[in-house]
Amino acid sequence: MRTVYALFVGIDDYPGAPLRGCVNDVRAAETWLRGRTGPEPRVRTLYDARATRAAVLAGLEEHLGRSGPGDTALLWFSGHGSQSPTSDPGEATGWSQALVCHDSLVPGGQPVLRDTELGALLDGIAARGTHVVAVLDCCHSGGATREYAEGPDGAAVRGVPWQSWWHTGSREGGGPGRPEGGRHVLLAACRPQELAHEKVIDGRTRGLFSHALLSALDGLGPTTTYGEAHALAHARVRVSGHVQHPELRGPEDGGFLSGEPMPASPFLLRHTAWGWEVNCGAAHGLRSAGAEFTLSGAAGERTVVVRDVRTESALVDPVDWQPTAEDEQVAHAVTPSALAFPPAVVTLSGEPAAVRLVAEAVAAVPALALEPDGPPGTEGALRLHVEAGYGRARVTGGAGYPVPDLPLRSPADAAGVTDCLAHIARWHHIRDLANPDPLLSSLVRITVEEASVGGLSHSADGEVVCAYTPDGREPQVRVGIHNFSGRQLWAVLLDLTDGYASSPHLFEGEFIGDGKVGWARRGQPVWLRLPPGRSTVRGASTRDWLKVIVAEDELNLAPFRLPAWSSAAPSGARLSPAPAGGGGLLRLIGAGAKDGRDAGGPACGAARWGTAQVVVRTQV
């Protein structure tokens, strides 16, 4: 059974800058943890004067460091955070964040615990097979890291100005590189540039984020995912009216405190200060009002319809059902059931009986439409071809590596063919996302620069060509995201491979300051290699589409995650709407589709988001 090692740090009694709700936060968190089923957690607490820099480091290294493979290590910090300018290229905002320990505010006292130092310690534990989670309720915590001032409603903020004695002997913003193979999950009270607030709630001073997160966990139950907990906590903090946006960095579908993947839809419906909201917006491909999302659950199938498309989300209204007060306390998994987005058009050829088998399967998948029966508006849509017959099907038309022939002897085989088609369609939807308004896109650029291994050149058609060395070593490059917009932007870098995979692992969503560069893998080299199974013979090659999506607010990353296509592990792309379907942007019906429903409406106006893309060819 999984053992949870927990380090709870709460500091109110700061010299010269006291707080009031931090110890309350971590005591409440400890009570919640001990109330869970399972083995008794192993807990260490550090309150007020006991929470020195040395004690916090010892708690991380000696206590959380005792965890092993299959265990969970939890750091919950509630106190002051701070930030300072930095020239470290790994800090895309141009600022370094830190946790303020108790003895850091004594003039000439101990240095703060910098984000890079903390991140390396946590990732070092994770690299040994432990699932590591950090919950940080302090100012600037979105940078992995409360000045006490009363607001008009009695709220206070948890942050202090940077002190001159906090600079250490290491390089500015530095610290050891993060080890490969392990990354911690971060639940932060706010964005790196923001302040976190505390106020009196139900008669006790509490951090807005800690209170919201624990309230969400109490209502969600033992199978809660990080995405669900964050979605509810975010909504509850935002209802307070303060400029504070909690952040999640880690897998949305990971089980809370376990990290184990949970069957989940990439989209969630929640109740916010603006009404009901789904975390799917224009930057995910949603184009207009009138689209629908479906909930499935004990209460039966329920639908919401989009009334307003924003960059990162959509405001929706329930259709023929009335949400209850209990509904407002839950994050509901939803699946797109009608989007104003053209399906991929499929043409069939080959042996008549096999063609009929595939045609029947395609008709059941709204992400696909048969030629010539595709609905109006499919001009310019992705066109795929299936050659069927003699017990096999060949799928062509996608931009990626050729798909091996698929078996076709039964309806189940035909369903596998449509799963492949829908998977390819989803990959193309992600790759081809673009804002019709090109303004922001023109102010963002991706660069691919030569590193220490391999050669780099440019082809006549604009591809970046990276070559293996003559002795067979894999090429390395540095990939930068440049922001020339005049304001800070949030960015994610997607690696779309020619195996029809999409992943944000190179740059998993961070803010980039104006005039700054966000470097993939925090400036470490990006290794390029042929996929497993492809021989590294002379002339062999593979392609990656590196696509950056930028916006003024964070985006839900779940719809951008797509495993490589494999007939041995179908993607589930053709499944009907259900929380376990994982369908992403898949249940798509164009205006005028054969069921007669108009999923369209006027196209949404220009949104404040953009994209940039480069193609990298790796060759031997």
Q: Which residue has the higher pLDDT, 161 or 53?
A: 53
Exposure string of 483-495, with b = 16+ CB inside 10 Å and e = fewer, is: bebeebbbbbbbb
Residue 408 clears pLDDT 70, i.e. is over it = yes
* 104-128: b (≥16 Cβ within 10 Å) or e: bbeeebbbbbbbbbbbbbbbbbbeb
CA-CA distance, 64 to 79, in Å (whole number)?
20
d(CA 313, CA 332): 15
Q: Residue 562 and residue 569: Cα distance in Å, rounded?
A: 12
d(CA 576, CA 336): 10
**Residue 267 burial class via C-beta count within 10 angstroms: exposed 0-12, middle 13-18, buried 19 and up:** buried
> Given this model, what pLDDT does residue 360 score?
94
Q: How many CB atoms lie within 10 A of CB 372?
A: 7
3-state SS assignment for residue 429: helix
> Looking up tokens 């003699």, which residue turns up?
390
**Residue 119 near residue 144, CB atoms below 8 Å:** yes
Return the structure tokens found at 126: 């994770």
Q: How far apart are CA 416 and CA 428, in angstroms?
A: 19
Of the given ranges (173-182, 274-283, 320-329, 513-522), which has the lowest mean pLDDT? 173-182
Average pLDDT, the chain: 84
pLDDT given for residue 567 in this prediction: 83
Taking the alpha carbons at both ends of the chain, their separation in whole angstroms is 47
Q: What is the pLDDT of residues 43-102, one digit of tens each?
A: 999 999 999 999 999 999 999 999 999 999 999 999 999 888 887 777 788 888 889 999
HEC letters along 413-427: HHHHHHHHHHHHHHH
Rounded Cα distance, 318 and 280, in Å: 16
- Domains in the chain (CATH in brackets) are 4-249 (3.40.50.1460), 441-578+605-619 (2.60.40)
Beta strands (DSSP E) in 500-590 are 502-512, 517-519, 526-527, 541-551
Span 316-338, mean pLDDT?
89
- Are 416 and 569 a contacting pair, CB within 8 Å? no
- The two three-digit tokens of residue 104, written as one number: 């850091």
- The answer to whether 311 touches 609, Cβ cutoff 8 Å, is yes
Question: Between 263 and 250, whose confidence is greater?
Answer: 250
In contact, 609 and 550? CB cutoff 8 Å = yes
Residues 389-412: what's their mean pLDDT?
95
Pairing label, strands 302-309, 314-319: antiparallel
Give the mean model confidence (pLDDT) for residues 469-478.
92
Higher-confidence residue: 227 or 601?
Answer: 227
CA angle 285, 288, 294 (to 5 degrees): 75
Q: What's the pLDDT band for 379 if we cut at 50, 70, 90?
A: low
Q: Is 583 a residue whose pLDDT tops 50?
A: no
| Ordered DSSP codes for 72-136 | EEEEEEES-EEEEE---TT-TTSEEEEE--GGGSSTT-PPPEEHHHHHHHHHHHHTTT-EEEEEE
Does 32 have pLDDT greater than 90?
yes
Q: Per mean pLDDT, which range of 180-194, 374-388, 469-483 is the poorest? A: 374-388
pLDDT at 479 over 60: yes
Contact 94, 516 (CB under 8 A): yes
- HEC string of 297-364 equals CCCCCEEEEEEEECCCCEEEEEECCCCCCCHHHCCEEEEEEECCCCCEEEEEEECHHHHHHHHHHHHC
Number of other residues whose CB lies within 10 A of the CB of residue 510: 23
Average pLDDT estimate for 298-311: 85
Yes or no: say if 538 and 436 are a contact pair by the CB < 8 Å rule: no
- For position 301, what pLDDT does the model report? 79
Does this model's pTM top 0.95? My answer is no
Contact 505, 497 (CB under 8 A): no
Helix, strand or coil for residue 71?
A: coil
Whether 78 contacts 137, CB under 8 Å: yes
pLDDT tens figures, 178-208: 334 468 999 999 988 889 999 999 999 999 9
Is residue 232 helix, strand or coil? helix
As a residue count, the chain comes to: 620
Predicted confidence (pLDDT) at residue 314 exceeds the cutoff of 60: yes
pLDDT 10s digits, 440-469: 999 999 999 998 898 899 999 899 999 999
pLDDT at 605: 44
Mean pLDDT value across residues 19-38 = 94
Q: Which residue has the tokens 């002897």?
A: 409
> In percent, how much of the chain has pLDDT > 70?
84
DSSP state of 149: -
